[in-house]
Structure 1
Amino acid sequence: MERIVLSPRYLPELSSVPEEVLSLREGMVQVSSLIPQIHEETEFWLARAIPDGSISTVAVGAYETILRTIAGVTSRVFVGLPRCRDEKWLDTAVNYTMDVFRLSSELRPYPPFLRRFVAPWLASTKRLQEHVRVASDCFGSIFAQRLAEPDGEGKRANDMFQWMADSAKGADRSTDVLIRKMLFLTLAAIHTSTMSTTHALFDLCAHPEYMEPLRREIGETVEANGWSLAAINELKLLDSFVKESQRLNHPGLPGTFISMPTNAIARDPDNYPDPEQFDAFRFYKQRQSSESEVNRHQFVSTGRKNLAFGHGKFACPGRFYAAAQIKMVIAYILVKYDVSFPGQQTVRPANNFFGESISPDRRQTVVFKSRRE
């Protein structure tokens, strides 16, 4: 497999290349209506992982806890209640991505012309087929029923499957095709958000001095706006915090063959003063510097200095939903819990590197202590 890493000077040209394949530009246009669902599932899954009660203290695997929470939230958005909490489906949603990457890794040593012949014999292929079967068993009948409903009749579900069904044409308007597309979307939706949220959680534990300013902002904003998109958008300190965490922990882009050195760009002193220093409010201060900067430097903003979500017409179309989800989970954790590393640990663990991808340490535990409200 050839991989081309381009200089940033090619970014304007690359970001304007015409789209020839799939575009998800219309995929995440109803973020506001999703916020109550995101909040409800965040509360549900964290309560399952972390015992409630004002004196409850528990150490849990950080990555697995966040993974299960993000998977639960994503499932709610994709398929709605009650099926979003089906354990078989959740296992499939989580493991489908892992098996896609395993299959890719297993096929990589073979010449391209042989891969189509080798793939059917590999265990990862069989597991992927099983994931499709489980998803079909869970949702096939109800999705077929939705597809059979004439447009405009009955109350329309507000979930990803319904949006895909409403926009599907011709041969794409089939249960099997849409279930496979939904599984593909879990690949993008669950694991990248899990990594970004886990990185942010580690940075909270490593920099506890930021917890109280963030809590004050969350408390004042939620009191005025409730748990709403307006509240999420007003959390400017938290937005800066997660953007700074992302700057120092770029997730990488699996499946990207034309690449930019995103990590080097994010740590270039010509782009960011003291680039190795974690400054949670770096981007908040930039937004406050002048009237023209107020709406720039947000978590979802893209540009030549920040390529975590891509740039130009190929910028991640789901980044507004992902940002709302990540900020909701971190905000809820800050409101409900004190978090820290176990024992005397004060420094976040080193990241793991897999090829071009960066992942948080999946063995690290974090101590959650329920706060008195």
Structure 2
Amino acid sequence: MFFSPTGIILVLAISAVLHSAFYSENSIYAQFQRCGSRWFNWTPVHKVIESGYHKVTKATGRPFVVCWWARDYLVMPPKYLHDVRTADGTHLNFFHSISDAFHLHTTVGDLYTARTSQRMIDVVKRGLNPLLPQITPILINEIDYSLEHLLEGGSEWQCVKAMELFAEITHRTATRVLICDDLCRNEDFIKQSMRFTKSIFVTALVIANLYLGVFRCLLAWPISLVHGWYLHKCMNILRPHVEKAIQECTADTKKPNAIYWTISLFPETVDKGHHDRFLKELLHSLWAGSSAPGGMITEVVWQLLINDGAIDALREEAREALSQHGWSEKMLNSLHLQDSFIRETNRLFPTGSMTCVRTVLGQPFQFDDGLILPVGTRFGFPAQAIQHDHDALDNPAEFDGFRFVRRGVDDRSVASGEKQWAASSVDTSYLPFGYGNHVCPGRFFAIRLIKLIITKIILEFDIKWDRKGKDRPTPINIEGQFVPNMQQKIYLKRRQDL
């Protein structure tokens, strides 16, 4: 009966009734205007968020509610960014939000909700970031290898799918430091780990878009089985390398990769009972550090091809910087045009329409104006809508690749050494990496990786496409997330005048 059309309809009807019964009209979400449907949006979520921003937030200054990843979220006005900026990460928690949205507990348990989840952040902050200048030659070496491995030799034009190429280059290069040098050229691990990282998003998408109602959390477990299989295949390949590193690691060991940083910063991870968690931390850090940069590079390349003269300007800047400083920190810091171009691309075409997504934990959170969010409240900020409509910028909805070069002429370094208008800096008009205490710690690595790959491509290759007109290839829009067009091809030819 239950597998007949009548049975399926009956199950869905019961699910809807139960969902309505459990949805309290006294909840925080019921106190604000809803944009889009609670059940299913025919309009893409990013359009619902954009519409809510203009019709509700700008008109009334109040939050509104959307259904995002099959859960209700408050979408907050930008005026609340100041309050969130200094809030403690354990009070307004990102990891809890991402675990819930993607149902990660089905494969990694409490990896994102236990106290030890902070280790993934600390490995980036205290292990990776201080060594970024020293690992630049390592990244360059891996980019060179990836280009040689993935592209044919010779001086003829080669046709490639851009997103596919840049995603693999970033994944291979990130593996070198976020896992280890033994596996970044292991073809089996690269294949399996790319399947693993892709399956996180695909699995979450299936769970969110099937009409499962109150059965969603229960059915998330069997739906996640394939993703879990990819995870364990990667763990099995990675395990002997971690065990070898544990045996060889001493106080003097200085290998520049996340395995050794984790062992050094958290000695308890050497205990065998912690190994599975250690492996999962490494693989999820690889997902976080490799997925977004590939898409960001692809979007930068789209804009380089759309905007006349942009490639020549960035190529000349890179050539001059390289001749003066070699592949060094000074060279990267001299790429002002490229840095501005990356920031502007990331501002207008971010990887998602929402940012600073958090869940209130422990105790209610009160904003300066008296608004109180109860424990368990999920919220975020409409990053794309804010970035397209900000008073701090002239013509914010238009692409101007070099706008931040002009703004940075009188830039003053802040205490952290960041520049206000750098691609890795954040402010209320630029939120793709989050904001305040909740800013992404891996943004410096991401921007460095993007700069190195873009510089290699424009210096060593001519680039073109057969696209007519000046329009951007249509991205894939899924649950308010943006993936560059997967089918768009570009043509690359090795330059002779290096």
Give the match for residue 146 of structure 1: 245
Equivalent pair of 2:180/2:259 in contact (CA under 8 Å): no
Matched, 1:159 2:257: yes
Give the match for residue 314 of structure 1: 438
CA deviation string 1:3-46 (max 9, x = no partner) = 12100000011121112164413353211121111111112212
Matched, 1:279 2:379: no
Amino acid of the residue matched to residue 323 of structure 1?
A: I
Matched, 1:368 2:496: no
5 Å-filtered alignment, 1:1-373, equals 1-20=71-90, 22-23=117-118, 24=121, 25-29=125-129, 30-53=131-154, 55-108=155-208, 109-111=211-213, 114-115=215-216, 117-122=218-223, 125-149=224-248, 151-152=250-251, 155-170=253-268, 173=271, 174-252=274-352, 256=357, 257-268=378-389, 270-289=391-410, 295-342=419-466, 344-373=468-497
Amino acid of the residue matched to residue 232 of structure 1?
A: L
Q: Max radius of gyration: which structure?
A: 2
Counterpart-to-counterpart distance in 1, 2:428 and 2:458? 32
User: Where does the alignment leave 5 or more consecutive residues of structure 1 unmatched?
Assistant: none
Counterpart-to-counterpart distance in 2, 1:208 and 1:51? 28
Deviation at 1:115, TM superposition (A): 4.8
Counterpart-to-counterpart distance in 2, 1:58 and 1:107? 38
Deviation at 1:289, TM superposition (A): 4.2
Amino acid of the residue matched to residue 455 of structure 2?
A: A
Specify whether residues 137 and 171 from structure 1 end up closer, same or farther in structure 2 by C-alpha distance, changes over 3 A only: closer
> After the TM superposition, which segments of 4 or more aligned residues of structure 1 sit over 6 Å from their partners?
none
RCO comparison, higher one (Cα < 8 Å, 6+): 1
SS at match of 2:408: helix
Superposition RMSD in Å: 2.3
CA deviation string 1:316-365 (max 9, x = no partner) = 00000101000111111010111122254543212221121122111110
SS at match of 1:158: coil
User: Where does the alignment leave 5 or more consecutive residues of structure 2 unmatched?
Assistant: 1-70, 91-114, 358-377
Deviation at 1:179, TM superposition (A): 1.1
Deviation at 1:139, TM superposition (A): 2.3
Identity among equivalent positions (%) equals 21
CA deviation string 1:277-326 (max 9, x = no partner) = 22111101100146679932000110111101111011000000101000
Counterpart-to-counterpart distance in 1, 2:495 and 2:181? 29
Equivalent pair of 1:254/1:357 in contact (CA under 8 Å): no
Bigger shift: 133-142 or 38-47? 133-142
Counterpart-to-counterpart distance in 1, 2:157 and 2:343? 29
Equivalent pair of 2:245/2:259 in contact (CA under 8 Å): no
Equivalent pair of 1:269/1:275 in contact (CA under 8 Å): yes
Specify whether residues 126 and 291 from structure 1 end up closer, same or farther in structure 2 by C-alpha distance, changes over 3 A only: closer
Figure out how many residues of one structure are paired with residues of the other and give that number: 368
Deviation at 1:111, TM superposition (A): 4.7
Counterpart-to-counterpart distance in 1, 2:356 and 2:227? 18
Counterpart-to-counterpart distance in 2, 1:295 and 1:141? 42
Deviation at 1:150, TM superposition (A): 5.5
Deviation at 1:82, TM superposition (A): 3.4
Amino acid of the residue matched to residue 12 of structure 1?
A: H
Name the TM-score, length of structure 1 as normaliser: 0.91
SS at match of 1:272: coil
Specify whether residues 325 and 369 from structure 1 end up closer, same or farther in structure 2 by C-alpha distance, changes over 3 A only: same
Specify whether residues 86 and 270 from structure 1 end up closer, same or farther in structure 2 by C-alpha distance, changes over 3 A only: same
Equivalent pair of 2:476/2:485 in contact (CA under 8 Å): yes
CA deviation string 1:230-287 (max 9, x = no partner) = 3112211110011111111011169935211111111115232122322111101100
SS at match of 2:389: coil
Name the TM-score, length of structure 2 as normaliser: 0.69
Amino acid of the residue matched to residue 13 of structure 1?
A: D
Counterpart-to-counterpart distance in 1, 2:311 and 2:495? 13
Bigger shift: 186-195 or 16-25? 16-25
